[in-house]
Amino acid sequence: MSNPKDAIKEKSMVIQKEMLANLFTELSTAKENGKKVVYTFVPGNLTELILALDMLPVYPEINALQSGMRKRSGSYIKDAEKLGFSEDVCTYVKCDIGMMLNGNIGPTGEKLPDPDLLLLSYTGCFTFLKWFENLERLYPGVEIAMLHTPYQEDGVITDDQINYMVKQLKEEVIPKMEKVAGKKLDYDRLEKMLGNAAKAEELWVKVLETAKHRPSPIDSYFAGVYYMGPLNTAFRGTEEAVSYYEELYKEVNERMEQNLCPVTPEGEMKEEKFRLVVEGPPNWTNFREFWKIFYDMGAVIVASTYTKVGGLYDQGFRHDPLKPLETLSRYCMGCYTNLNLPQRVDLIEHYIKEYKADGFLINSIKSCNSFSAGQLLMMREIEQRCEVPVGFIESDLVDPRYFSYANIKNRLESYFQMLEQRKIIMSQEEAHV
Amino acid sequence: MTQAPPRLTTLLDECKQLAFDLNFTYAKQWKSESENRILVGYLPIYVPREIIHASNGLAVGILGAGDRKQIIKGDAYYQSYICHLPRGVIEMALDDNLNNFDGFLFPSICDCVRNLSGMFKLAKKGKFTRYFDYPQNFQKNIGGTFYRELIETIMNDMFKINGVKITNEALNNSIALYNRNRQLIEEMYAIRQEFPWRLSAVDAYHVMRAGMVVNVEKHNLMLEEIVQLISHDFGESLDNIRVVISGSFCEQPPIGMIKSIEMAGCYIVDDDLMLGSRWIIGDIDAHTNDGLNSIVDAFLTQSAPSSAIYDVGNPKGARLVTQVKMRNADGVIFCAASFCDPALLDRPDLQKACDNAGIAHINFQFHENTGQFKVIKEQAGTFSDSIKLWV
Ligand code: SF4
Ligand code: SF4
C-alpha cells in the first residue's frame, strides 16, 4: 500500500466535489431564489423530469447515508424511536426523520430546505411508501405525487405495466409536478436530458466493465458507491454528469492500461489477491473501517448489486429520448431491487462468471427487507450454481448499534482463509493437469 | 345466566380444528371430490377470492405456522431480524404441507412477502406463483385498468390448469356468496360489539380463520348458525374494557396472546386479524353484466384502511378513530409482529391520531410463536385498570 499522502486526488473526484458543493449552495438559497424543492428516492428517480422543470432534488436516502458517515445517525435514530418508531424498522427512515427533528441540517452544515413536493416514485421497496406517508404528515400541506412502479414479478416488463406507469406519469405525476413548478414541462428539454443520461450511462458501464481486467483498476463496491453518485442523484441528464463520467472513464482506463490496482483511502492497492462479487448495501457508519478489512487482505470487489439500485445499465438499459415517458417507466421497473429473486440470482451468477470472481459475499442489512429477505436462499443457489466460496456477514446501513467490527472482521478473515485455501488447491490441481 | 348452547360449542370446536389444520385436509379433500377443482394458496392480506371461486377453485389462506409447528428449515432461510411468518410458510412448503396446491398468490404488502414469492419460484412450488401486485393508484382508468389486467392474468393461470372459463354468471354467483360471507361476519362482529361475552375473541378468531381454509358455501352455513345462536342471550358480562386490536393483519398473534388480552380485562370488539375476509367494505354489485368490473370498482373504492394501501387523501389514522368510536371502544391495543415494517411504520401516526382524539392506547410486539404472555397480560391488565379508573 502506498503512503496515503501520496494518494492523488483524481480529477474526477474534484469535479464531483464541486458538483455537490454547487448543489448544496443552490439548495441553501432555494427558498430565496424561488426554486422549488422535490424530495425523492434514488431507485426509480425521475431526476430528468425534476430538472427539466427547474426544480431541485433532495434524496432523503442520501441524507441518511451521509448522516451515517458523519456519525450523526445514531442519535437521529434514537430521536425517531422516542417518537414511537420501533427499533425493528428501516433505519434510513428513522435517520431521516431524526435528522428532520433536529433541524434538517445537511452535510455542509446548512439547513436543507423543506420540500415543496414529495415525489414518491416507489420502486423496489415497500418501505418507501410508508416513509413518504410519514413525511407527508410531518410536513403538513406539502404536495405529494405518487408513481407506483410494478414489480418484475415474472422476470419481465409487460406492456400492461408500461401503460400503467405512462398513464400515471401523464395524468397524475407530471401535472402535479407542473403545478408545483409553476410551469409546463418542456418535452424538448426533457428529451435532451434523456440523451445526456444515456451518454453518461454508456460511460458508467465502461467504467464498471474495467473491473473485468486483472487486476481490476476499480473497486466496484466501495469506490463504486462514489462513482455512481452523479448518475443516481441530482445530475443524471446534465452535461456535467457526462463530463464527470468522461473524466472518470479516462482515469480508470489509464489505470487499467498500466495494470494498476484500485485506489483506496490509504492509497493504491499493490496486489489484487481476491476478486469478489458482493450483494447488499454497505454499512455507512463504519464505512472506512469496513473497506479497510477488504483492501488489507487484497480483496477487490469486481461487481456488486448495490451499485445497480439506481439502474441496471450494465445489462443494456439506456434512457431513450425518443420515448420519454416509456423510458422513464422502464427505468423505474428495471432497478435492481425491483427484480424478482430468480432474476437477482441470475444476475449474480452472471457477474461471478463474467468478472471471474473467486467468491461471493453477502452483506445482509438488518433493517432492509427489500434486500435481505431471501438472501440466504440466494446464497445457497449461488453456491450450487457457481461452486465458489460464499460468505455471509451482517450489519446495518446507518444504525451503529448493529455494526460489530470484531465480529465482521473475524468472519471475513475466516472467509479469506477459505478463499486462500481454495486458490492453493486449484493451483495444485492445475499443476497436475 | 344460561350456558352457551351445545350446538355453538360443537361448531366452535369444528372451527378450531379447521383453523389450525396446517395440512389443509379439508381443502385437499374438497379438491379431490371433483375434477377440475383447484387450490390456490394466498398470503395475507387480500385477494379477490370471488375470481378463484368462479374458476372452480378454493382460495386457501396461508397465515404462517404460528406456534403449531416447529420451525427447523425455515430458520435456515431467514435471518433473525426478519419477521416470523415467512419462515413458517417456507417450512410448510418444504414439508409438503402445501402439496396439491395448484398456485400461490403473494399480495403486495411488504418486501418479505414479495421476496417470498421469488423463493417459491426458485423452489418451483405450485403450477403458478404470482406476486399479486395490486395498484396503489385508485383512478379507475389508471389503477383500475391495471388491476383488471392483473386479475385477468391470474384467471388465465387458473384456466391453463383446469380449463374452466369464468362466465359472468359464475362470477356474479361468487360475488353474491362472498357478499353474504362479509354480511355474516359483520353481523357476528356487531353482536360481539354489544355482547362480547357470548363469543370470546379466541372463538371468533377460530371462526374467522376457519373461513380462510374452507369453501365459502360451508363457511356461510357455519356463520349463519353461529350468528343465529349468539343472537340469543347467554353467558355473563364481565367488567371489562372494550378494545380494538390494530396491526396484526399479517403474521398472526398466538392464541395464547389473544386469550391473555381478554383474560386481562379487555374485550376485543374489533381487530384487523383476518382483514382479508373483511377487506371490501359493504357489498360488491352482483347483478351486472361485468362482474369483473364490479370487483375492480370495489377494490378501488371500498377497500378497508390498511398498512398495505397508500393512504394519502384517506388517512388511516382518522379511519381508526372512526372505527373505535363506531365500536364504542375504550382504547386501542397496537399489536404488531416484530420486524413488521408496514405495521410498525404506521404505528406512530396511528398513535398520534388516537392521542388527538383522546383515545387511550398501548402497544406490544409479538412473534407468532411467542410462548410467554405474562408481560402482555400484565400490560393489558394495567391498561384495563387505568381505563376503568378514569372512564
Ligand atoms: S428498506 Fe431498504 S430499500 Fe427500503 S428504504 Fe429502507 S434501506 Fe431503502
Ligand atoms: S408480518 Fe409484516 S413484514 Fe412480515 S410478512 Fe407480514 S406484512 Fe410483511
Residue A6 confidence (pLDDT): 47
pLDDT of residue A431: 80
Are residues B310 and A89, on separate chains, in Cβ contact within 8 Å? no
- Give the C-alpha separation, B250 to B108, whole Å: 12
Nearest to A160 among B86, B139, B149 (CB): B149
User: Does the beta-carbon distance from A133 to B145 stay under 8 Å?
Assistant: no
- What is the C-alpha separation between A77 and A399, in angstroms, rounded? 7
User: Which residues of chain A make contact with B81, given a CB cutoff of 8 A?
Assistant: 88, 366-367, 372
* Predicted pLDDT at B312: 86
Q: Averaged over A210-226, what is the pLDDT?
A: 98
- For residue A429, is pLDDT > 90? no
pLDDT grade for B1, boundaries at 50, 70 and 90: low
For residues B108-129, average pLDDT: 97
Choose among A83, A126, A366: nearest Cβ to B111. A126
Which atom of ligand 1 is nearest the CA belonging to A126?
Answer: 4
Q: Determine, for residues B142 and A168 on separate chains, whether the beta-carbon distance falls below 8 Å.
A: yes
Nearest to B347 among A86, A151, A345 (CB): A86
Does pLDDT of A228 surpass 80? yes
Nearest CB among B109, B142, B346 relative to A164 is that of B142
Ligand closest to A65 (CA) is 1
Mean pLDDT of A154-163: 97
pLDDT tens digits, one per residue of B51-63: 999 999 999 999 9
Spell out the alpha helix ranges (H) of B163-195.
168-194
Q: Between these two residues, B283 and B388, which has the higher pLDDT value?
A: B283
Q: How many CB atoms lie within 10 A of CB B371?
A: 9
How many A from CA of A124 to the centre of ligand 1?
9
Atom of ligand 1 nearest to the CA of B111: 1
**What pLDDT sits at residue A5?**
44
Domains of chain A with bracketed CATH: 11-186 (3.40.50.11890), 261-432 (3.40.50.11900)
Q: For residue A110, name the pLDDT band (cuts at 50, 70, 90).
A: confident
Q: What is the mean pLDDT of residues B12-34?
A: 98
The pLDDT of residue A107 is 77
From chain B, pick out residues whose CB is under 8 angstroms from the CB of A340. Answer: 117-118, 121, 131
Which protein residues are within 6 Å of ligand 1, measured from CB?
A: A 90, 92, 125, 127-128, 337, 368-371, 397
For residue B250, give the ligand 2 atom closest to its CA. 6
Rounded to whole angstroms, the Cα distance separating B357 from B323 reads: 12
Q: Which residues contact residue B345 at a Cβ distance below 8 angstroms, ignoring those fewer than 6 apart?
A: A85, A89, A90, A93, A127, A130, A131, A133, A134, B307
Confidence class of residue A2 from pLDDT cuts 50, 70 and 90?
very low
Contact across the interface for A125 and B111, Cβ inside 8 Å:
yes
Mean local confidence (pLDDT), B161-178? 98
Task: Indicate the average pLDDT of chain A.
Answer: 95
Contact between residue B138 and residue B300 where contact means Cβ atoms under 8 Å apart: yes
What pLDDT score was predicted for residue A325? 98
Contact between B104 and B127 under an 8 Å Cβ cutoff? The reply is: no
For residue B119, pLDDT over 50 is answered with yes
Centroid of ligand 2 to alpha carbon of B250 (angstroms): 6
* Degrees to nearest 5, angle at CA B270 with B265 and B275: 135
Residue written as grid cell 374485550? B267
- How many angstroms does the Cα of residue B379 sit away from the middle of ligand 2? 24
- Mean pLDDT, chain B, rounded, equals 96
Closest residue in A to B145 (Cα) is A164
Q: Is the pLDDT of residue B9 over 90?
A: yes
Residue found by looking up cell 489477491 in the block:
A273
pLDDT of residue A8: 55
Q: Which domains occur in chain B, in start order?
A: 34-166 (3.40.50.11890), 238-391 (3.40.50.11900)
With cut-offs at 50, 70 and 90, classify the pLDDT of residue A44: very high
Q: What's the rounded Cα separation, in Å, for the pair A173 and A44?
A: 14
Taking only Cα atoms into account, the Rg of chain B, rounded to an integer number of angstroms, comes to 20
Cβ distance of A373 and B149 shorter than 8 Å: no
Distance, CA of B346 to CA of A79 (rounded, Å): 17
Nearest-angstrom CA–CA distance, A399 and A12: 30
pLDDT confidence of residue A47: 97
pLDDT value of position A419: 96
Please state the ipTM of this predicted complex: 0.96
pLDDT value at residue A180: 98
How far apart CA B132 and CA B124 sit, in angstroms, is: 17
Partners of residue A344 in chain B, C-beta under 8 Å:
118
Of A98-107, A269-278, B82-91, the poorest mean pLDDT is in: A98-107
Per-residue DSSP letters for A126-179? THHHHHHHHHHHHSTT-EEEEEE---BTTSS--HHHHHHHHHHIIIIIHHHHHH
Split at pLDDT 50, 70, 90, the class of A10 is confident
Cα distance between residue A167 and residue A414, in whole Å: 52
Residue of A nearest to B128 (CA): A154
Left if phi > 0, otherwise alpha if psi is -120 to 50, otherwise beta: which for B309?
beta
Residue type, B42: Y
> How many Å lie between the centroid of ligand 2 and the Cα of residue B9?
33
Residues of B within 8 A of A128 (CB-CB) are none
Q: Which amino acid is at A424?
A: I
Minimum mean pLDDT range among A10-19, A306-315, B339-348 = A10-19
Backbone angles phi, psi at A186, to 5 degrees: -95, 105
pLDDT beyond 50 at A3: no
Minimum-distance ligand 1 atom for the alpha carbon of A124: 3
